[in-house]
Amino acid sequence: MSSTKITARWAFNVSEWNPSDEQYQQILSFIQPEEKSRINRSYFIEDAKLSLIGRCLMRLLFCKLYKYDWNTIQFSRTERNKPILVTPKMKDSDPIINFNISHHGDWVVLVASENSLIGVDVMKVELPSNQTLEYFFETLKDRFSDYEWSTITNQNYTEFQQLHQFYQFWCLKESYVKAIGLGLSLDLRSIEFHLSNEESSLIENPQIIKSKTQLFINNELQPEWKFEESYLDDLHCVGITYNVLDHENIINSQNFDKFEIDEILKYAKKLN
């Protein structure tokens, strides 16, 4: 039986990368032309930087960990817009490699696994512009089960702590639907996450990595699905979802490796 493992938990803080025009154009030359064109249509430079670093981290994954030449790597997208590797072709003897990326606020994150589905979501804990917490919650309340909503709106929490709890649940839900490849077309109320009493709350202790949350679908426990929840900094929470062949097995949780642009420059090559 092939073993399941997480091979990458990578994070890049884009707010700390302030490239010159020359370096920005250099990094753009490292990705496929169609992705370059899409990024160049971004209205805000911060959005462009997030997308650009995400594409580079995908290439870095296969170059750094699997020793593929940067120039031979080719990505496409599924009909649901999920990036997939199309070149080089994997051998039958190779492990099944899955990867997923997410970006929001200041951070881009990438996760990868062998012989396991995997998804990730990062969110900056903030209210949308010109919205109150009451209005924001009212517009999204129907995405959560009664149990989840009562946990989010715990009366012992301040409003800011409730917002933190909201985004922690949101990262769990979105990382799961990304892992199974369905996107947010799924009825989110049918997937319910139960927090473990055996772990501290991330609100109380944001330095920990939670790994004992359980998933219920239509009230049935799904023991093969595992989760990691953590914070990259004070305002960015991140959730990882993966499945295991043996539901008793839990992969050892680890913090994200935080990369800077030099890590990309070490491996990257200009594409012809």
Mean pLDDT over 114-133 rounds to: 95
Mean pLDDT over 240-244 rounds to: 95
Confidence band, pLDDT 50/70/90 cuts, at residue 1: very low
Q: CA 228, CA 232: separation in Å to the nearest integer?
A: 12
pLDDT of residue 2 exceeding 70: no
pLDDT of residue 114 exceeding 60: yes
**Lowest-confidence region among 24-28, 37-41, 84-88, 218-222:** 84-88
CB 242 within 8 A of CB 179: yes
Q: CA 82, CA 119: separation in Å to the nearest integer?
A: 11
- Domain borders along the chain are 5-267
pLDDT of residue 225 exceeding 70: yes
- pLDDT, residue 272, reads 65
Q: CA 213, CA 194: separation in Å to the nearest integer?
A: 6
CB 115 within 8 A of CB 2: yes
- pLDDT, residue 247, reads 62
Q: Decide the pairing of beta strands 5-13 and 107-114.
A: antiparallel
Amino acid at the residue 271: L
Residue-wise pLDDT tens digits, 156-188: 999 999 999 999 999 999 999 999 987 656 788
- pTM, 2 dp: 0.94
- DSSP code string of 217-268: ETTEE-TTEEEEEEEEETTEEEEEEEE-SSTT--PPP-PPEEE-HHHHHHH-
- Look up the CATH number of domain 5-267: 3.90.470.20
Q: Is 164 helix (H, G, I), strand (E, B) or coil?
A: helix
- pLDDT, residue 37, reads 95
Q: Which tops the pLDDT comparison, 91 or 238?
A: 238
Q: In Å, what is the CA distance from 53 to each residue of 10, 104, 113?
A: 11, 12, 20
Q: Which tops the pLDDT comparison, 249 or 21?
A: 21
Mean pLDDT of the chain: 93
Confidence band, pLDDT 50/70/90 cuts, at residue 249: low
